[in-house]
Chain A
Amino acid sequence: MEGLATATTSSGQPDQKGLKPNAISFISNVVIGVASTAPAYSLAAVLGFITLTGGVGFAGPAIMLVAFIPMLCIALAYNYMNRADPDCGTTFSWVTRAMGPSLGWMGGWAIVVADIIVMANLAQIAGVYSFQLFGLTSAAASTLDTTIVGIVWIIVMTWICWRGIELSARTQQFLLGMEFVTLVIFSVVALITVYVNHPVTLVGHTAYHSVEPQASWFNPFSIGLTPLINGMLLAVFIYWGWDTCVTVNEETEDAGRAPGRAAIVSTLMLVAIYLVVTTAAQAYGSPGLLSANANDIFAGGLAHSVLGSPLDKLMIIAVLSSASASTQTTILPTARTTFSMARQRAFPNALAHIHQRFQTPDVSTILMGALSILWYVGIVNVSSNVLGDSITAIGFAIAFYYGLTGYACAIYFRRELLKNAKNFFYIGVLPVLGGAILTGIFIKALIFYQNANNDLSKPILGIGTPVFIGIGSLLLGVVLMLIARIPYREYFSRKLEVADPAVLLDGYVTPATDGAGRS
């Protein structure tokens, strides 16, 4: 045929709108959930501070167990809201629908705040562990050196997200597998040594005697309510990120059942690994050693003492790879949240920009990285204990937006709750219970930590550092939200919505969003 054929035509392929079904396998879904939670990094960042909390003593494992209860309840809320919202949104979208734009805006703000603050923590851990990896102990102890490496870390991670580079599923599985195996080896070796050799770890002039595990370590009633709640505010942090595997639901193979099972499997893996490592670590060095090295529990001699050289480097690599996974799952969702808020006309329009070539929300991503660096440099100068204080502060933000999500679920589905016992329990009672527990932790911890005697750093303006950061940032959000009401009037006048009853029926298929089909 001469010349050129036909005008613009549609392709013969059947329409494939919305989310790609069957895109993520069962194993990938488990991997996503566990990797997003970043067990090795979370343990490195939090475990020491939990044992450091006044009155916790040996009850670290008990706190890990109890802290999981509200997270499980909130995960149910995520699961049902995710089914209802065809947009596969998160807290910002959901709370806006269920509880109105003001709270929705604050939910989005809390995500941004939590993620910016955690970057300082990630950067600090990355700095310390990078030096430890090469045996540069003195550099690892220098604030200036670790800060520089931390800033480079944030820049590199932001660049990766801006550039749109994603690890392949197989690489992720390999890294996570290595992380898990390392944690298990560490725990098994530590526990066997404890029973066989009764080791004594010498750090400086202090000797830390090992202790055989006891049933009371797992009993939350063995300690008072105050240390339990204060410990839980920190422990919420270690489960943070787990909800990711609930929100990638829709594309899992066999969408009806696999996501539920993937969530359960990743849950069990996480709870098990946290319990085992916590038990092994405090049996080996007693809580004393963990508290003394709260900033870097593995790098500060524990991994070396348990595994010997060079195997201890494995632990450091595991923490670093875990931290990098966590950075990715921090920058991506936050950039998406600010992107979404900008697109729904609740944030400045520039944040809705997409990079021509890399197809990533570039302005949102770079802003996140820049704010993280500013924040990191700021807090290093203010707080003598960046890691501990920032985790406590993040605890407030997480408790706030997870709690909101729990309430939003029950409110959004309010007309379905009384239809049967299953709805009432799983969509109403448990998410609200999760929200209530988190609210309780929020208030109790607020009272505790605002007393500067209970904090790691000296107070700012007479208020404890974690409270100043955690609550101050949320209050700043309230002020900004009130200001935002003026230019973004349309968003702030959005009406409340209620769930479509069809969502809960068997065989319900999430409606597709427009635009993702073929032209």
Chain B
Amino acid sequence: MSTIVVGYDASDCARAALNTAIEVGKAFGDDVHVVVAYEVHRLGGEVADFAAALAERAQQIVKLATDQAAGLHAQIQTEIVEERAADALVDVADRLDARLIVVGSRGESPLRGALVGSTPHKLMQVAERPVLVVPA
């Protein structure tokens, strides 16, 4: 058995991604490892309160992921990583030697994705393992 790494931010497409990841996990008998990533931009002073607020939010998102999985009678592992989402997913997937990375997609156009930095878009470039993109 191996691990399915899934990116999660409690949005609709992330919920869809987690559902799919759990399905795939069941099919392969793999663990499902949920990664909640956030990045604190250091530039801009008064970082502490902002960082603390983001950390709190990450905890809430983990809770939402656990609840969603419980609704499907599935158990998951969770991890909060302070890193840009795509980098965090690749790092965790490499560490766990995951079978697959699952992320949700908001259906942004390729141009828009490139301009504003879409996570699936970035993952395609940097991941060295299969990436499954789930539309919302």
Contacts and interface: CB of A to CB of B under 8 A. Distances in A.
Partners in one complex: yes
A213 interface: no
Interface stretch (A290-298, A330-338, A414-422, A435-443): A330-338
Nearest to B62: A519
Contacts of A352: 49, 53
Contacts of B31: 4-6
Interface in B68-123: 74-82, 92, 95, 116-117
A336 B46 contact: yes
A343 interface: yes
A310 interface: no
Residue of A2, A251, A356, A516 ringed by the most chain B CB atoms within 10 A: A516
B128 interface: no
A372 interface: no
A12 B92 CA distance: 11
Interface string B13-54: 000000000100110010110000011111111111111111
Interface in A5-21: 5-13, 16, 19-20
Given A163-B116, A165-B117, A515 B44 contact: no
Contacts of B54: 354, 359
A29 to B, nearest CB: 10
Give the size range of A's interface with the partner. Answer: 35 or more
Given A514-B52, A516-B51, A13 B44 contact: no
Interface stretch (A50-58, A86-94, A275-283): A86-94
Interface in A192-236: none
B44 A92 contact: no
Contacts of B32: 4
Contact of A336 (B47, B52, B62, B82): B47
B50 to A, nearest CB: 6
A9 B77 contact: yes
A473 interface: no
A87 B77 contact: no
Interface residues of B, number: 47
A87 B48 contact: yes
Contacts of A5: 1, 31, 75, 77
A234 B81 CA distance: 44
Contacts of A514: 52, 55
Nearest to B29: A1
Contacts of A75: none
A516 B45 contact: no
B40 to A, nearest CB: 7
A32 interface: yes
A519 B75 contact: no
B46 A337 contact: yes
A24 interface: yes
A158 interface: no
Residue of A11, A36, A89, A335 ringed by the most chain B CB atoms within 10 A: A11
Contacts of A354: 53-54, 57
A453 interface: no
B75 A4 contact: yes
A357 interface: yes
A513 B50 CA distance: 11
Contacts of B58: 519
Contacts of A92: 46
Interface of A is mostly: loop
Contacts of B76: 4, 8
A501 interface: no
B79 A516 contact: no
A357 B47 contact: no
Contact of A513 (B9, B48, B81): B48
Interface string A347-381: 00000101011010100000000000000000000
Contacts of B53: 339, 343, 352, 354
Nearest to A163: B116
A340 interface: yes
Contacts of B62: 519
A519 B95 contact: no
Contacts of B38: 359
Contact of B74 (A4, A36, A343, A359): A4
A506 interface: no
Nearest to B106: A357
B46 A90 contact: yes
Nearest to A7: B75
A332 B43 contact: yes
B41 to A, nearest CB: 6
A7 B75 CA distance: 6
A515 B52 contact: yes
Nearest to A247: B45
Interface string A506-519: 00000001111111
Contacts of A356: 9-11
Nearest to A32: B43
Nearest to B25: A4
B82 A248 contact: no
A518 B55 CA distance: 9
Contacts of B9: 356-357
Interface string A106-132: 000000000000000000000000000
B44 A332 contact: yes
Contacts of A89: 45-48
A359 B52 contact: no
A244 B26 CA distance: 50
B46 A165 contact: no
B12 to A, nearest CB: 11
Interface of B: 1, 9-11, 22, 25-26, 29, 31-32, 38-59, 62, 66, 74-82, 92, 95, 116-117
Given A87-B47, A329-B44, 4 more contacts: A4-B74, A333-B46, A357-B9, A518-B80
16 contacts: A3-B26, A4-B76, A6-B31, A23-B42, A36-B43, A87-B48, A92-B46, A163-B116, A248-B43, A336-B44, A336-B49, A339-B49, A339-B53, A352-B53, A354-B53, A519-B79
